[in-house]
Structure 1
């Protein structure tokens, strides 16, 4: 469960923004975890049931085959959602590492990417998404601010090196 302090530990985020992100994260995380777990369970069931196999004598077999995921596609989607759920859990615990050389913590840009990815796997039948969208908006604003700061510092560095 991230706090404003854990969110500020790896980035140039002000207290108000960090507090807002922490509040939105803590409201949205249970929903995000539930959605990811439901997708994992569904993909595992489809793989177990060999959902890619279509009865060749079915009157609409060609149409069904055209709109049915292959085994490889199902496995790839399963792995993607498993990684997403792991990343969300690490962000929640403050142990996420953007790369092997980085310290563990809550990274705003990694969180924004993970939340966006979660929203792509969420379906119309998923309930309770309002806090996830509020979190996505707060992370988008923080990411925009970090990007503005990076552009300004890069411009200042390139201007001072001339």
Structure 2
């Protein structure tokens, strides 16, 4: 569970923004983890079922083959969503490292990127997305402030 101190110490945020992000994160994280886990299970079932193998005698075999993902595409999607779930967990624990030399912590930019990737993987049937969208909006505001700070520093 993310704490305000972790968000504040590693995120270069003021107390108000850190508290808001922490509250929104803790409200949205269970939903984000559930969605990622459901996607992982779905990709694993597709691999087990070998959905790319179409019966050549099926009357619509060519049409089915045209819209069926390949084994490599499913494996790539599975790896991506597994990596996303790992990053979300690291951000939740405050142990995310942007690179091998950086200290572990919470990064607004990494959190914003991860939440956007998760939202890209959602479907119309996913429940509880209001909290995730609210978190994404708050992270977008904080990321914008951070980008301005970095631009001013580099100018």
TM-score (norm 1): 0.93
Helix, strand or coil for the counterpart of 1:69? coil
Equivalent residue, structure 1, for 2:31: 31
Deviation at 1:24, TM superposition (A): 0.5
| Structure-2 residue corresponding to 1:150 | 150
Q: Distance in 1 between matches of 2:11 and 2:25?
A: 16
Which residue does the alignment assign to 2:4? 4
Where do 1:91-106 residues align within 5 Å?
91-106=91-106
1:38-97 CA distances to partner (integer Å, 9 max, x unpaired)?
000000000000011111111111111111100000000000000000000010011111
Q: Which residue of the partner structure matches residue 114 of structure 2?
A: 114
Give the equivalent residue in structure 1 for 2:75.
75
Q: CA deviation at 1:23?
A: 0.6
* 4+ long deviations beyond 6 Å: none
Q: Secondary structure at the match of 1:105?
A: coil
User: Which structure 1 segments of 5+ residues have no match?
Assistant: 156-162
Compute the displacement of 1:153 (Å): 1.9
Displacement of 1:10: 1.7
**Counterpart for residue 90 of structure 1:** 90
State the 1:152 CA deviation. 1.5
Map of 2:18 onto structure 1 = 18
Task: State the distance in 2 between where 1:11 and 1:3 align.
Answer: 12
1:154 shift after superposition = 1.8
Please give the alpha-carbon distance, in whole angstroms, between the structure 1 residues aligned to 2:154 and 2:117.
29
Deviations along 1:19-50, one digit per CA (max 9) or x if unpaired, are 11001100000000000000000000000000
Larger radius of gyration: 1
SS in 1 for 2:10: coil
1:14 Cα deviation from its structure 2 partner: 0.7
